Structure 1
Amino acid sequence: MAVYQYHCAEHGVLEVARPIGTAAASELCPDCATPAPRVFTAPRLALGSARNRALIDRAERSADQPAVVSAPPSRRSAPQALNPALARLPRL
């Protein structure tokens, strides 16, 4: 069973358990009986590693709070400076 989320404009998010692949485009809200459209979310990765959860959280935050840089990275931090084999690759 998968848990699908729907969003009612008046009552907020509601969750419905259905077999995988059987989710409807909208469900009726149990409180007001208006159609609630389906909300697409990331799968629940609570059992994943802490590093992966932190990466997903950082990616979600960057959607509306992107990191701003004041200058491009220095040449010293370039990968070819760390690995001499990469210095032979063409640069863009």
Structure 2
Amino acid sequence: MATYEYRCQQDGSFDTTLPIGTAGTAARCPRCGGPAARVFSAPRLTRTPTPLRHAIDRAERSAETPDVVTRVPARHPVGWSSNPAHARLPRW
């Protein structure tokens, strides 16, 4: 589902949620019933989940100023599972 924005000459803007690709160039205003033209606007990126937004920001920053390391990071031991079925798994 996608949110489409329409603007009525009398009542102003309103949003309609429709399946992607099914929105017409005009719709009926829910207040007055008159014709409303479709408005093309920027996607609502503010609804992007916070972890995804942070990942995108990190990726964009790394293109301009990548993180520089001065040594190989220490290897941290992986925690052992208390599940007995995991005891048979190979260790490296």
Give the length in aligned residue pairs. 52
Q: Which residue of 2 aligns with 1:26?
A: 26
Alignment gaps of 5+ in structure 2? 58-92
Cα deviation for residue 26 of structure 1 reads 0.4
Once the two structures are superposed, residues 33-88 of structure 1 have per-residue CA deviations (whole angstroms, 9 ceiling, x without a partner) of 11100000011111274897xxxxxxxxxxxxxxxxxxxxxxxxxxxxxxxxxxxx
Give the root-mean-square deviation of aligned CA atoms.
1.9
Q: Which residue of 1 aligns with 2:37?
A: 37
Percent identical:
44
> Structure 2 CA distance, aligned partners of 1:41 and 1:31?
22
> Structure 2 CA distance, aligned partners of 1:5 and 1:39?
5
Cα deviation for residue 19 of structure 1 reads 0.5
Alignment gaps of 5+ in structure 1? 53-92
Q: Which residue of 1 aligns with 2:15?
A: 15
Normalization by structure 1: what TM-score? 0.51
Cα deviation for residue 30 of structure 1 reads 1.3
Q: Which residue of 1 aligns with 2:90?
A: none
Query: Where does structure 1 differ by over 3 angstroms across 4 or more consecutive aligned residues?
Result: 48-52
Instruction: Give the aligned residue type for 1:36.
Output: A
